[in-house]
Chain A
């Protein structure tokens, strides 16, 4: 049975596409056949984050129009042959595809791929409806900001109403130092409102932005130091997705006193 997971958020720019690219890549690295589907018609950028932009020939819209076969539209990743991208059309609006068509497309993908990750557009309109229509599970991404959490809450409600009850929470861009100073919502604050199980906490890290610009998902980096805590957090999400129990990263800001730092050094991190 393939797992069909939509990555969604409500609010824009919170890291859906970053998560989709990295989780897709990390799952592929673990030997799964993975398809990532860009459901952000008109504003696609999953191809950019994966560095596959220049290899797109056909998109989902041509497949649906019968202008090409599904296989022809799938862009295979050279670095990771287990991963393919089904691109969205850049020049069509979100209304050029219907939820039923999305279901059909994704259903065809389940014949070959064991994980199908759908990158949802922001908002709750047609594009969102398209993205969630085929999904059986959801990863709800939010940043620790009131407006993002409010939108995520709305999304959780809409997912439930659409029969997607298997939803997990990813809190992205947490800044431990700000949380410690009470200037940012904590993981606990966010969890308390959304009340769905937490599957990952990703720290704010400029390595993410660098990797975005390079079109190279963070989890691809060879060295752990290059992946950083954010890369590690993303890899941990994938392990949790697969049922492993992985402790959450210790993101407390570096304390000033030497002893505390020493203690943290010796604590087994993930």
Chain B
């Protein structure tokens, strides 16, 4: 898979807590552990440390989130991809850095370099034998992953070559192609089209940033729900025989037609 530059933000909630979802990318700070592809490398972003003891971003929580992200995203990078750890102003000791490195190793990833703007963390990382860069890393645009401005071209499509199972949500600022099924309880949220080369039984959202021209296509369309831009449609009645179908927006609603009948020059 060559989607290094366009890794999806992927969340799977292994606790039923609703706060599992990342609130927003726009905030100044990343509130959860995140993995992000950028220019062929993988960035691991740690959330900032909060003062309150009840804060969710304790070290144990960070470990748990990291594990979870790695589990969920395993298919989205190749083994031995170098990882750049962005600790920002978080204080980490050598043991904690080693834990992160070990966790990454278990997921067949390599901790390549530690970026920090805390001297102590930099020292600890150096002592533990990691290569370190102590600087606010502006050029890596960690903190400003803003939604693309109006009219910006979508990133390249994301190919997922596996079944999207219950509990997995895939978000991608472009088109998503699934070579497999999307099961009930699984969901795809794409700013572009959603193509499922298999059975779509879960939830699919195309044009999630508002583009009503986006499409949802599946070899078998029996979704829990589909959304295109701001339109929502529930599962169509199960037809006697399944055929490849296309869902699109027309005359203020979502329509579904057989792929064979879907014409490119449909009225918009």
Query: Does B163 have its Cβ within 8 Å of any Cβ on chain A?
Result: yes
CA distance A28 to B15 in the complex (A): 37
CA distance A146 to B168 in the complex (A): 17
Known: A157-B165, A157-B167. A150 touches B185 (CB 8 A): yes
**Distance (whole angstroms) from the CB of B154 to the closest CB of chain A:** 27
Q: How many A-B residue pairs have CB under 8 A?
A: 41
CB nearest to B165 among chain A residues: A157
CA distance A192 to B184 in the complex (A): 12
CA distance A160 to B164 in the complex (A): 11
Interface bin, chain B: 10 to 19
- For chain A, the count of residues having a C-beta within 8 Å of the partner chain is 16
**Distance (whole angstroms) from the CB of A161 to the closest CB of chain B:** 4
Interface string of B154-174 (1 = CB under 8 A from A): 000000001101111000000
Set of chain B residues within 8 Å of A158, measured between Cβ atoms: 14, 71, 167
**Distance (whole angstroms) from the CB of A132 to the closest CB of chain B:** 11
Query: Does A252 have its Cβ within 8 Å of any Cβ on chain B?
Result: no
CA distance A157 to B13 in the complex (A): 12
Set of chain A residues within 8 Å of B201, measured between Cβ atoms: 193
Residues 142-183 of A contacting B (Cβ, < 8 Å): 146, 150-151, 153-154, 156-158, 160-162
CB nearest to B181 among chain A residues: A195
B15 pairs with A157, CB closer than 8 A = no
**Distance (whole angstroms) from the CB of B106 to the closest CB of chain A:** 9
A154 pairs with B166, CB closer than 8 A = yes
Query: Does A63 have its Cβ within 8 Å of any Cβ on chain B?
Result: no
Set of chain A residues within 8 Å of B167, measured between Cβ atoms: 153-154, 157-158
Query: Does B26 have its Cβ within 8 Å of any Cβ on chain A?
Result: no
Set of chain A residues within 8 Å of B163, measured between Cβ atoms: 157, 195
Most A C-beta atoms less than 10 A away, residue of B14, B168, B184: B14
Query: Does A71 have its Cβ within 8 Å of any Cβ on chain B?
Result: no
A157 pairs with B166, CB closer than 8 A = yes
Set of chain A residues within 8 Å of B74, measured between Cβ atoms: 160-161
CB nearest to A146 among chain B residues: B184
Query: Does B63 have its Cβ within 8 Å of any Cβ on chain A?
Result: no
CB nearest to B72 among chain A residues: A161
CA distance A103 to B121 in the complex (A): 32
CA distance A154 to B28 in the complex (A): 33
Residues 157-213 of B contacting A (Cβ, < 8 Å): 162-163, 165-168, 181, 183-185, 199, 201
Query: Does A124 have its Cβ within 8 Å of any Cβ on chain B?
Result: yes
CA distance A130 to B185 in the complex (A): 24
Query: Does A206 have its Cβ within 8 Å of any Cβ on chain B?
Result: no
Interface string of A100-132 (1 = CB under 8 A from B): 000000000000000000000000110000000
**Distance (whole angstroms) from the CB of B8 to the closest CB of chain A:** 15
B14 pairs with A153, CB closer than 8 A = no
**Distance (whole angstroms) from the CB of B83 to the closest CB of chain A:** 17
CB nearest to A161 among chain B residues: B71
CA distance A45 to B163 in the complex (A): 34
CA distance A153 to B15 in the complex (A): 15
Interface string of A33-66 (1 = CB under 8 A from B): 0000000000000000000000000000000000
CB nearest to B162 among chain A residues: A160
Set of chain B residues within 8 Å of A162, measured between Cβ atoms: 71
Set of chain B residues within 8 Å of A153, measured between Cβ atoms: 165-167, 183-185
Pick from A125, A150, A160, A192: contact of B166, CB under 8 Å: A150
Set of chain A residues within 8 Å of B181, measured between Cβ atoms: 193, 195
A-B pairs with the 6 shortest C-beta distances?
A: A157-B165, A161-B71, A153-B166, A154-B166, A154-B167, A153-B165
Give 18 CB contacts A-B under 8 Å: A124-B14, A125-B14, A146-B184, A150-B184, A150-B185, A151-B166, A153-B184, A153-B185, A154-B166, A156-B165, A157-B168, A160-B162, A192-B199, A193-B181, A193-B183, A193-B184, A193-B201, A195-B163
A→B interface (CB under 8 Å): 124-125, 146, 150-151, 153-154, 156-158, 160-162, 192-193, 195
Known: A150-B185, A157-B165, A193-B184. 8 other contacts (CB 8 A): A151-B166, A153-B165, A153-B183, A153-B185, A158-B71, A162-B71, A193-B181, A193-B201
